[in-house]
Amino acid sequence: MSKGESRPYFADPSESFVLYKGDSLTTIESLGEQQFEMIFADPPYFLSNGGVTCKGGKMVSVDKGHWDRSMGVDNNHAFNLQWLEACQKALTADGTIFVSGTHHTIFSIGFAMQQLGFKILNDITWLKPNPPPNLSCRYFTHTSETILWAARSKTSRHTFNYSEMREENGGKQMKSVWNFTAPGKSEKQHGKHPTQKPLGLLDRIVRAASQPGDRILDPFNGSGTTGIAALSQGRRYVGIDISDEYLDLTLARYDGLVGNHAVEPALCDGMLL
């Protein structure tokens, strides 16, 4: 652990899978600059403001927790600027970041990236073939999310595994519209997270923009899908979250991946001994 670095919630013996509990901004800054070749971030969408959606044919609240409540347009954008700036410093010179969002946040994210001098490489559309219906019948059904992919700076020489992506796409250049269903029961067998992303989506992102052995950060760890994808593809992972519940869900998924052969460090009150 480097000077000033937060104490891990969990770390495997090889430090290829490390989790921190705490505020994302503070924790990222404690990890030091230019530490990660890739970052994936699924930040708050600021949707938990009393709205409803359809799930399993029933009307349910969209409130996910206090972390997802809007602070107002200006404060929401200031928050996005802060954590993106911290991520930019944490990236290596040629590192890249992927950020997922809906129209509620993605325009703020894109503007903040431009303000900070990122080089936006692609806007990827995650197309959902099974979206929930629109209950009000006053809008088109929301059927996609946008993922912005950006390099640390205009001079970055970013990693893109073009040949692998082309081969995966039947020998043709892969386009920026990706079709993935929402996570099914098999991906939620250890528990659920309200904004969980499909493992196939993160698996593709990890393979497209990093190399084996690279260090990948997710500052909003959630259910740990980024970490599971990273570990499965031979990358190293660091995840940050404020919730014991979701960090423990991530550990359950980690244990399910590595089996009973991993050496587990002692945990006490959520802190590594």
- Find the CATH number of the domain harbouring 180: 3.40.50.150
- The average pLDDT across 91-103 equals 97
Greater confidence (125 vs 135) lies with 125
Q: Report if residue 83 sits inside a domain.
A: yes
Q: Report if residue 236 sits inside a domain.
A: yes
Q: What pLDDT is stored for residue 199 in this prediction?
A: 96
- The average pLDDT across 63-68 equals 55
- Residue 4 tokens read as 């000033």
Q: Report if residue 77 sits inside a domain.
A: yes
Largest CA distance in the chain: 55
- Residue 28 tokens read as 């990222």
- Where is 251: in which H helix or E strand? helix 244-258
Q: Report if residue 265 sits inside a domain.
A: no
- The average pLDDT across 186-195 equals 75
Residue-by-residue DSSP string for 189-235: TT---TTPPPHHHHHHHHHHH--TT-EEEETT-TT-HHHHHHHHTT-
Q: Report if residue 272 sits inside a domain.
A: no
Question: In sequence order, what are the residues at sequence separation of 6 or more whose Cβ sits closer than 8 angstroms to the Cβ of residue 163?
Answer: none
Q: Report if residue 5 sits inside a domain.
A: no
Q: HEC string of 37-67?
A: EEEEECCCCCCCCCCEEEECCEEEECCCCHH
pLDDT tier at 183, thresholds 50, 70, 90: confident
Q: Which residue has the tokens 């996910």?
A: 64
Range of the domain at 175: 10-260
Question: In sequence order, what are the residues at sequence separation of 6 or more whose Cβ sits closer than 8 angstroms to the Cβ of residue 66?
Answer: 48
Q: Given a cut of 90, is residue 30 above it in pLDDT?
A: yes
Q: What pLDDT is stored for residue 5 in this prediction?
A: 58
Q: What is the mean pLDDT of the chain?
A: 87
- Where is 28: in which H helix or E strand? helix 24-31
Q: How many domains does the chain have?
A: 1
Q: Report if residue 174 sits inside a domain.
A: yes
Q: What is the DSSP letter of 181?
A: P
- Residue 175 tokens read as 């386009």
Q: Report if residue 219 sits inside a domain.
A: yes
Amino acid at 13: P
pLDDT tier at 4, thresholds 50, 70, 90: low
